[in-house]
Amino acid sequence: MNFDIQSEDGIDIIVPLVRRLDASVAVVFKQEILSFIAQGKQNILLDFSHVDFIDSSCLGALVSILKSLNDRGELALCSLNSNIQNMFKLTRMDRIFTIGQDRASTLKTMIR
């Protein structure tokens, strides 16, 4: 799976370079992010600007990733399209995850 990975002010920004995060890639997506966390990266912003669709398997992967941080860091999401935002609202996951409108504003709200 391809990612664009950048770092800004101690926050690691991961941009999945896929249009769909569904069951066909959820396991690989989760493993790659968990591997990144295992390398000591603990303040992560997932930028979904390239992603058009996620399904429940990806949502489950995101919950697992959040749990793996175990309050040692922060996971935030940004640049979700309206369909993805609605999924988070319907499942009430918008109460669990820090979700920002865009990269710049979300970085400002994260742990420094």
DSSP string, 7-41: EETTEEEEEE--SEESTTTHHHHHHHHHHHHHTT-
Instruction: Give the pLDDT confidence score for residue 70 in this predicted structure.
Output: 87
d(CA 5, CA 101): 19
What residues does 54 pair with on adjacent strands? 21
d(CA 64, CA 66): 5
Residue 111 has pLDDT above 80, yes or no: no
Instruction: Give the pLDDT confidence score for residue 1 in this predicted structure.
Output: 86
pTM as predicted: 0.94
Mean pLDDT computed over every residue of the chain? 94
Residue 7 has pLDDT above 70, yes or no: yes
Residue 74 has pLDDT above 80, yes or no: yes
- 102: CB partners within 8 A, 6+ apart: 78, 79
Residue 12 has pLDDT above 90, yes or no: yes
Residue 34 has pLDDT above 70, yes or no: yes
Please name which of 22, 14, 13, 16 lies closest in space to residue 2, comparing C-alpha atoms.
Answer: 16
d(CA 45, CA 61): 15
